[in-house]
Structure 1
Amino acid sequence: MGTLSTTGPHRLDPAIDATLHAAAGRVRAVAGERVGAMVAAALRRTLTDTVTIGADGSAFVITGDIPAMWLRDSTTQLTPYLRFLRECPPLADLVAAVVRRQLACLDHDPYANAFNDGPTGAHYDPEDVCDDPHVWEQKYEVDSLAYPVTLAHRLWRETGRTDVLDDRTHRVLRTVVDQLRAEQRHESSPYRFSRETDIPTETLARDGRGTPVGFTGMTWSAFRPSDDACTYGYNVPANLFAAQALRAVAEIADEVYRDPALADDARGLSCELVDGVTAHGVVPAPAGSPAAGRPMYAYEVDGLGGVLCMDDANTPSLLSLPLTAPDVLDDEVWRATRDFVLSPANPYWFTGTVAAGVGSPHTKPGHVWPIALAVEGLTGTPEDRVRLLRLIADTDGGTGRVHESFDPSDPTAFSRPWFSWADSMFCELALAVADDAGA
Structure 2
Amino acid sequence: MTKKVPASFNKWIDKVKNTFPENEKLHRMFEKCFINTYTTTLQETEEGLPFVITGDIPAMWLRDSTSQIRPYLIVAEEDEEMATLIENLVKLQTKCILHDPYANAFNKSANGEGFQQDKTAMTDLVWERKYEIDSLCYPVQLAYLLWKSTNHTGHFTEEFNQALHKIIEVFKTEQNHTEKSPYRFERENVRQSDTLNNNGKGTDVSYTGMSWSGFRPSDDACMYGYLVPSNMFLVVVMDYVKEIALAFYPADQELLQASAKLREEVAAGIETYAKQPHPYYGDVYAYEVDGTGRKLFMDDANVPSLLAAPYLGFCEKNDASYQATRKLILSRENPYFVEGSVLTGIGSPHTPDHYVWPIALSIEGLTAETEAEKQAILEMLIAGDGETDYMHEGVNASNPAEFTRDWFAWSNAMFSEFVLSLCDVYVKGSPLSK
* TM, length-normalised to structure 1: 0.93
CA distance in 2, matches of 1:293, 1:327: 18
The match for 1:118 is 109
The match for 1:46 is 37
1:293: Cα distance to partner? 4.9
* Residue from 20, 37, 40 that aligns with 2:28: 37
* Residue from 184, 187, 195 that aligns with 1:192: 184
Identity %: 42
The match for 2:3 is 10
The match for 1:203 is 195
1:128: Cα distance to partner? 4.2
Contact 1:244 1:327 in 2 (8 A): no
* Residue from 135, 138, 157 that aligns with 1:144: 135
CA distance in 2, matches of 1:385, 1:113: 32
Q: Which amino acid aligns with 2:100?
A: D
Closer, same or farther in 2 for the Cα pair 1:128/1:330, shift >3 Å? farther
Contact 2:9 2:75 in 1 (8 A): no
Contact 2:54 2:65 in 1 (8 A): yes
Are residues 1:309 and 2:297 paired? yes
The match for 2:390 is 401
Are residues 1:251 and 2:240 paired? no
Q: Secondary structure at the match of 1:77?
A: helix
Are residues 1:240 and 2:210 paired? no
The match for 1:271 is 264
Aligned residues: 421
CA distance in 1, matches of 2:31, 2:115: 32
Q: Structure 1: which 5+ residue stretches go unaligned?
A: 1-7
1:117: Cα distance to partner? 0.5
Contact 1:20 1:40 in 2 (8 A): no
Contact 1:59 1:100 in 2 (8 A): no
RMSD: 1.7
The match for 2:204 is 212
What does 1:362-381 correspond to in 2, within 5 Å?
362-380=350-368, 381=370
Q: Secondary structure at the match of 1:242?
A: helix
1:107-136 deviations in Å (ceiling 9; x for gaps): 110000011101111114634434311111
1:352-381 deviations in Å (ceiling 9; x for gaps): 111110000011112100000000000003
* Residue from 90, 93, 101 that aligns with 2:84: 93
CA distance in 2, matches of 1:220, 1:328: 25
1:225-258 deviations in Å (ceiling 9; x for gaps): 1100000000000001011111111111111011
Q: Secondary structure at the match of 2:395?
A: strand
* TM, length-normalised to structure 2: 0.94
Q: Which amino acid aligns with 2:76?
A: L
1:392: Cα distance to partner? 0.8
Q: Secondary structure at the match of 1:158?
A: helix
Q: Structure 2: which 5+ residue stretches go unaligned?
A: 426-434
1:24: Cα distance to partner? 1.3
The match for 2:49 is 58
1:25: Cα distance to partner? 1.4
CA distance in 1, matches of 2:50, 2:173: 30
